[in-house]
A and B are shown apart, each in its own frame.
Chain A
Amino acid sequence: DGGITQSPKYLFRKEGQNVTLSCEQNLNHDAMYWYRQDPGQGLRLIYYSQIVNDFQKGDIAEGYSVSREKKESFPLTVTSAQKNPTAFYLCASSTPVGRQETQYFGPGTRLLVL
Chain B
Amino acid sequence: AQSVTQPDIHITVSEGASLELRCNYSYGATPYLFWYVQSPGQGLQLLLKYFSGDTLVQGIKGFEAEFKRSQSSFNLRKPSVHWSDAAEYFCAVDFSGNTGKLIFGQGTTLQVKP
A104 touches B100 (CB 8 A): no
The interface-forming segment of B40-48, B57-65, B69-77 is B40-48
- Interface size of B by CB at 8 A reads 26
A50 to B101, CA, bound (A): 10
Contacts A50-B100, A102-B46, A103-B100 given: A108-B41 contact, CB under 8 Å? yes
Interfacial chain B residues near A100, Cβ < 8 Å:
32, 51
Q: How far is the CB of A26 from chain B (nearest CB, A)?
A: 16
Instruction: Enumerate A9-61 residues with CB–CB distance to B below 8 Å.
Output: 31, 33, 40-45, 48, 50, 58
- Chain B interfacial positions (CB closer than 8 Å to A): 4, 9, 32, 34, 36, 41-46, 49, 51, 90, 92, 94, 97-102, 104-107
- Chain A interfacial positions (CB closer than 8 Å to B): 4, 6, 31, 33, 40-45, 48, 50, 58, 90, 92, 94, 96, 99-108, 110
